[in-house]
Amino acid sequence: MRCLSGVEEKKALEYIGAAAQIALSSSCERSRCGSVIVQGGEIIGCGFNSPPQHKEKQRRCSDSKYSYHTKVTDKTCCVHAEQRAIIDALRKNPDKIAGSRLYFVRLDSSGKASRSGRPYCTICSKMALDVEIGEFVLWHEEGVCVYDTDEYNVFSFKYWE
């Protein structure tokens, strides 16, 4: 993990702001999230978390995460913002995704970008590795931090340790 500073941090905060705008489209009742994927200064994919298209009636956001069997690893009914951003980039810019940077943000209850916790989603980290996204960016208490995708994946698997 490397924390950004100066011009690089300022630009990253702009992309986090763009992800926050996209997160406003989320219909998740637990947490509204957004992601953008950037390559060469261009947003090549974006996404927000919500149930799969046309499946709003299958919503389970109000169900307790503890009500699921322990083998259910993703206890939300939503497609993750990172997954949607990856799908969007693959549809629109498949030749640009390798080596790109994925920015993720979660909104607070007032709809403003909030600082995130440590990497924890192995579903998204594995998907990012598979399509060769180069880096993940999260906004932590200590600032905007960049993780190599391999590093992000390792931290995600160690989250519960």
Give the domain ranges of the chain.
9-157
- Residue listed under structure tokens 């998204």: 124
In this prediction the pTM is: 0.88
Q: Which fold has domain 9-157?
A: Cytidine Deaminase; domain 2 (3.40.140)
Q: Which residues lie across from 3 on neighbouring strands?
A: 145
What's the chain's Rg over C-alpha atoms?
15
8 A C-beta contact, residue 15 and residue 38: yes
Measured between its terminal Cα atoms, the distance across the chain in Å is 19
8 A C-beta contact, residue 37 and residue 43: yes
* pLDDT score for 64: 59
Per residue of the chain (161 residues), what is the pLDDT tens digit?
A: 999 999 999 999 999 999 999 999 998 878 899 999 999 999 999 999 998 875 555 655 565 556 544 554 555 668 999 999 999 999 999 999 999 999 999 999 999 999 998 998 899 999 999 999 999 999 999 999 999 999 999 999 888 76
